[in-house]
Amino acid sequence: MRSTLMFKQSSVAAIEAKPSSRDGELIARVLGGERQLFHELVQPYERSIYFAAYSVLENEHDAEDVAQETVLKALKNLGSFRGDAKFSTWLVSIAINEARARLRHARVLKFESVDADPQDEEREFVPAVLRDWREVPSEALERKEIRELLRSAVASLPEMYREVLILRDVQEFSIADTAVTLGVNEGVVKTRLLRARLMMQKILAPKLKTKHAGSLFGLFKGKASGSWF
């Protein structure tokens, strides 16, 4: 049966345009001299910082380096945070910019093109057309093979689509926050998100439907009323 639930309508988590009162208060106290509180200030955003960097770099070690650089840079520049955006958006923007700078440097060293192919934005994307779909339950993620399949599909996306997908669908940023973080308008975010999502469907749907049907059914047959696919 096809689910009618909307995906993540409730996940537009931190919508407010300005720093939360929690963040605002901590920022004021850090700037007032209680510097140890910076640990507490950044703690809720550790995951976002890391995966923002990872969305650009696709490398765990580099993403962790950039996450550390981001936190140090934020500490150094906290006084210049103007408070007209959310603190989390500001932090993640730093991470994205640091990661892009690192990637640019690496590409220059390798004499590769820095810019995305502008024609990518114009190209038409067609999903994998299926006759039907039986839901793959989240329990399937207990299987390393399935997690790797998903990660590898995300990694295979061109950078501009991977960034949007990770911010929006992994980090659950709102469209507006994703736009501010990436420095593009909301229309661009929506266009890239559509393409990123259809690319993911095109890559993954046939694999999940065929390659793993037998093993998934074997693992979860108690939950299914019949064959999954």
Note the residues at the interface with other proteins (CB under 8 A): 2-3, 6-9, 35-36, 38-39, 42-43, 46-47, 50-51, 54, 60, 64, 67-68, 71-72, 75, 126-133, 135-136, 138, 140-142, 146-147, 150-151, 154, 165-166, 169-170, 172, 175, 190, 193-194, 197-198, 200-201, 204-205, 208-209
Q: For residue 228, count other CB atoms closer than 10 A to its CB.
A: 20
For 197, half-sphere exposure in the C-beta direction (CA atoms, 13 angstrom radius) is: 11
Contact of 133 with 151, CB cutoff 8 Å: no
**Positive or negative: CA dihedral 72, 68, 200, 169:** negative
Tokens of 22: 């929690």
CA dihedral (86, 87, 90, 95) in degrees, to 10, reads: -140
Secondary structure letter of residue 225 according to DSSP: S
Contact of 78 with 90, CB cutoff 8 Å: no
